[in-house]
Amino acid sequence: MRKKLVSILVITLLITIVILPIVNSLNVNEKSISVDDEIKITVKLSDKGPYKICFPSSKLDLSPNKIDILPNMAHPAIAFAGDQIHPAFGRTPDGIHMVAYKDVDYGEIIWGFSEDDGYSYDGWLYWSVGGDYPSIKHWDDKTFYGAFVADPMDNNGGVIYLFKTDNPTDTYDYEIDYWDVSGYGFYNMIDAEIACDSSQNEYEWGVSSFIISRYGYYTDGPTIVYSDEDTEGDWWISWYYYDGCNHTDVDIDHDDKVSYAIYDWEDTVSGENKLLCRVKDFTDPVNGSDNMYEIGISGNKTYTFSTLRNQSIAVANGRYVICAEIDGVENDVDIICIYGTSMGTPSYSFVAKNPEVNETNPVVGHIVGNAFVVTYNTHDTCSMPRAIKASVTYDGGISWSNKRWQLNDNYDCVVEGYKTHDLCENGELAMWTEDCGSDIDIYIASVFGNQPPDSPTISGPNTGKPNTDYDFTFNSLDPDGDDVRYHIEWGDGDIEITALAPQGTDVSVSHKWTEEGTYTITAYAEDELGLTSVPSTKTFKCPRSKALYNPLINWLQYYPNLFPILKQLLGF
């Protein structure tokens, strides 16, 4: 009996000390499962082939109408009576804008311009063809192209439109070409985007991407339109046989001359929302390489993968960055980034994944090099007001800035939804819509509207010896509270860049000089958005050893017999 009691006590102790903690830790891990360890991106090269039709386009023989209003000289950028929604704009490097939006009262797409980098807008023309969801991109010099969704009443939504101007400030230069494809069975266009590249013929604008249906073939399918490379005015419409697409985006890599058209797609076989990405040679659009990839995500308990949607893509330098919504199991929406240099081997990161906030409707743009920026909506119906925020990556999507900064000033006014905001070329400016109670207006702001950090302080010794390590401390304050890194030139040819650190905190760096001399340490601070401070300097000396020089000693070297006599006389 005693042995049995002892055994029971031992078993109880084992359960208490060993097994229960393991069980508890398993429960904790399941609730806070590591996203980075569990997500798997699947990519399948489609076994379907592309199809295409060529037909000449026509000029729209319809005079535009002028809206008789004064230029707007304040921000919001576009604030007239009624609702202005779905803004799109492009920008030249010297600050000329081409802008379009849907005016709800007019029921038309309105076209205008700015020649002072968004301080004021004018123009305001429209063609009486209806439509929605405009898209505008800069082609070259002052030339812009645009696309938009055809009105459902316009030949059952089966018309392809192409806007063009060679000078946005001259509204007489605005023109629209069109192609009525309803005769080929196309109907019910639901989304449109455009990407431009000026490396080919002058009439080859780039690639337009649409979601449109075709009687007897597909419903809401991924479709692109591009110019014939030999005959001006001839366009190709090309598609893959997929049903169930909802949104599209398109971009062209100006370095590799490859176009990427992307769609969110309801895969009825798996029951999941996936992405379709069509990668096509732009230098030979008719006969060049053309592949469609199916992109899915699986293997994680924190996210449901039936709702991967509202994607945006930017490509540059052979690298693609895709941002899309993904639903968490606790009814929150996050933004995932899928990136890489080969569509067959993508990686991923998260732009935003606050479990208490819905982050939605990403729009991504390329800045320079491997730097990309994304804007998106945030909203928590319980506590957080509606806002538009931005985040940036400097490594092509591998990591995103810890700080997400807000673009809007008005409290809880930002309109959420698909294509309620847009980025211009290089991601420098953003447009978005706000509803502050009376109507919906369009706002504009610099995406990188922050201030550079202060010049850093440099603390440390002033002198030292060669081949010895010495510690120096760098500290800089940033007016916006951004993290900062330090670029340090040690004066001996060595250059060092530190990792990002919280502003206002000491960053210690050691260095040693190998030769004697006087060195100037030069350092400047850079915030996480790339703005830099005025440099600071500090002098460090490695003094030379004093040489013993005495003419008498040098003379005595020639008379060594005198040393004993001198020692006797001097008392050595």
Distances (CA, A) of 314 to 118, 368, 498: 23, 11, 29
- Cα 59 off chain centre by: 36
Q: Residue 7 has what pLDDT?
A: 41
Q: Residue 567 has what pLDDT?
A: 61
Q: Residue 265 has what pLDDT?
A: 94
Q: Dihedral, CA atoms, 426, 428, 433, 435, nearest 10 degrees?
A: 160
Question: What residues does each domain of the chain span?
Answer: 53-311+404-446, 450-572
CB-side neighbour CA atoms (13 Å) of 552: 3
Q: How far apart are the first and last CA of the chain?
A: 98
d(CA 371, CA 10): 61
Q: Residue 34 has what pLDDT?
A: 34
Q: In what order do the strands lie in the sheet with 440-446?
A: 421-423, 429-435, 440-446
**Local structure of residue 534 (DSSP, 8 states):** P
- Cα 241 off chain centre by: 30
10-residue block means of pLDDT along the chain (572 residues)?
Answer: 40 34 29 46 89 87 68 65 95 96 95 93 94 98 97 95 97 95 96 97 96 96 96 95 97 97 92 93 93 85 68 97 85 90 93 87 94 91 78 92 82 91 93 90 84 92 95 93 92 95 96 95 88 92 65 60 63 56
E strands in 46-153: 51-56, 58-59, 65-66, 84-91, 97-103, 108-114, 122-126, 132-140, 143-149
- Find where tokens 């120096």 sit: 472
The architecture of the domain spanning 53-311+404-446 is 6 Propeller (2.120)
The fold adopted by the segment(s) 450-572 is Immunoglobulin-like (2.60.40)
- Structure token digits, residue 81: 């009576």
Residue 469, Cβ neighbours under 10 Å: how many?
Answer: 9
E strands in 240-370: 245-253, 258-267, 272-281, 290-298, 303-316, 319-328, 333-340, 347-352, 358-368
d(CA 175, CA 515): 69
Rounded to two decimals, what is the model's pTM?
0.76
d(CA 275, CA 320): 14
Q: CA 364, 410, 103 angle in degrees (round to 5)?
A: 65
Three-class SS of residue 22? Answer: helix
Q: Residue 33 has what pLDDT?
A: 27
If we measure between CA atoms, which residue out of 322, 454, 449 comes closest to residue 43? 322
